[in-house]
Structure 1
Amino acid sequence: MGSKNKLKRFKENETFTNVIQPSREEVIGGFKFKGKWNSFFDNDYPIVLELGCGKGEYTVGLAKRNPAKNFIGIDIKGARFWRGAKSAKEENLGNVAFLRTQIELIDQLFAENEIDEIWITFPDPQIKYKRTKHRLTNPDFLKKYKHLLKPKGIVNLKTDSEFMHGYTLGLLQGQGHEILYSNHDVYKNAGSPPEVLEIQTFYENQYLEQGKPITYIQFRIN
């Protein structure tokens, strides 16, 4: 993507009422929507997050299927989720928002027990050992998720990375978390929830063209 295109998208994001772009200082200093996200949406619907939302396909796709839930896509790359934000505006989806920030700050953005569900879709597996702290299912992130999720809240991981799938399964089993469902190849093995099969991201389509299996885990943090 050219720099002019990026700048155009950044400027358009600033005009979207469904895009929130706080500074790091605003987040750490006491984020105005922490614990008050239902005031942003002006309803009391359950809140679902997509972490590393990319172009926002899952955020928008889930929102279409679940009008009685609110969906927030989080990513640091605003030029990517511009597409999802624009689509949500064009389709008058009032239950969609996009938040431009670092996922590491998630516990500064949401209050305890404020979130019902989390989706992690095609994250960077951060394969090198020194990058372990950046894996979105590492123990530190799981602690943050547990704090934010309601007691029965669930986490969904959909990835093309067999490494990420195996790492996460091993960690969940080792720490005694509740694995609700696991599938090593969702399009080959039946049983995955409809939203896993019916919503496909830009990158997922590329992985499928390459013949990569798509994996999925649904779990609850104990």
Structure 2
Amino acid sequence: MGRKKLERFRQNEANPHVVQAGKEIFETIKGNWKSLQFQNDHPLVVELACGRGEFTVGLARQYQEKNFVGVDIKGSRIWKGSSQAYAEGLQNAAFLRTQIELLEQFFTPGEINELWITFPDPRPRDGDERKRLTSPRFLDIYKKLMAKAGNIHLKTDNTGLFTYTAEVLSSRPDIRIIRKTADFYLSEWKDEHHGIMTRYESMFMEKGETIKYLQFCFTES
């Protein structure tokens, strides 16, 4: 392991914006994000596969009245966003280092008010469908954890994942699609994201890819 990566891991251990194995809060955070991490009662917004955390940090800057948690398994990735949050004193931004499959170990039913899935691995092979973050398997997890009428957002450059997700959502009577566009930056909603882009989003746009966007919610408890 490189020296730079080891140094980033050391900084994560000391950074109060990082919740990870080895810290006492890691074992007690479930159901207690507002009281233990943020010490307020603001709505909780979670970003999955947050990578470097550009979107989590960007949203936290814009919405001080909400709490934001970026989730990723790669400590060297979340180091970037957590370091920025620490440097800027963003008390409403935090990062959870864990696998997304384990979300139920860290959030209680109804604890998440809003969920973002930003540029996830599209997992294009048919055999990898269960690993897609918008597959029925993951949707069932989200349904348990989302607050009533809580919104879920997907942003992706991948047409296959966008089409697949729209089909899966449309097939479920417990889901309502609120917004859907195959070109987000030509849509009426683009300004609502305040120009916040992830590294991957910028890369895809430079290659001429259009950004697809879906917003939906569960309609049954």
Q: TM-score range by the shorter chain?
A: over 0.9
- How much is the aligned-residue C-alpha RMSD, in angstroms? 1.5
* Length, aligned pairs only: 215
- Determine the C-alpha separation between the residues in 1 that align with 2:111 and 2:162: 27
Structure 1, unmatched stretches of 5+, are: none
Aligned to 1:175: 172
The one-letter code of the counterpart of 1:111 is T
Offset of residue 130 of structure 1: 1.2
Aligned to 1:209: 206
Q: Once superposed, which parts of structure 1, at least 4 consecutive aligned residues long, lie more than 4 Å away?
A: none
Aligned to 2:68: 71
Aligned to 2:111: 114
Offset of residue 197 of structure 1: 5.7
Offset of residue 195 of structure 1: 4.1
Structure 2, unmatched stretches of 5+, are: none
Offset of residue 22 of structure 1: 2.1
Correspondent of 1:45 among 25, 42, 47 = 42
1:1-222 matches, cutoff 5 A: 3-22=2-21, 31-39=27-35, 40-176=37-173, 177-187=175-185, 189-196=186-193, 198-222=195-219
Asked whether the 8 Å contact 1:142–1:221 carries over to 2, the reply is no
Q: 1:106 to 1:116 in 2, by over 3 A?
A: same
Asked whether the 8 Å contact 1:62–1:195 carries over to 2, the reply is no
- Determine the C-alpha separation between the residues in 2 that align with 1:152 and 1:123: 23
- Determine the C-alpha separation between the residues in 2 that align with 1:146 and 1:175: 12
Deviates more, 1:91-100 or 1:192-201: 192-201
- Determine the C-alpha separation between the residues in 2 that align with 1:156 and 1:42: 26
- Determine the C-alpha separation between the residues in 2 that align with 1:163 and 1:54: 21
- Determine the C-alpha separation between the residues in 2 that align with 1:69 and 1:7: 32
- Determine the C-alpha separation between the residues in 2 that align with 1:123 and 1:156: 12
Q: 1:75 to 1:136 in 2, by over 3 A?
A: same
Asked whether the 8 Å contact 1:75–1:101 carries over to 2, the reply is yes
Asked whether the 8 Å contact 2:184–2:190 carries over to 1, the reply is no
Identity %: 44
Deviations 1:75-125 (A, max 9, x none): 001101111001111111000100000000001110010110000000001
- Determine the C-alpha separation between the residues in 2 that align with 1:14 and 1:194: 36
- Determine the C-alpha separation between the residues in 2 that align with 1:38 and 1:15: 20
Q: Secondary structure at the match of 2:30?
A: coil
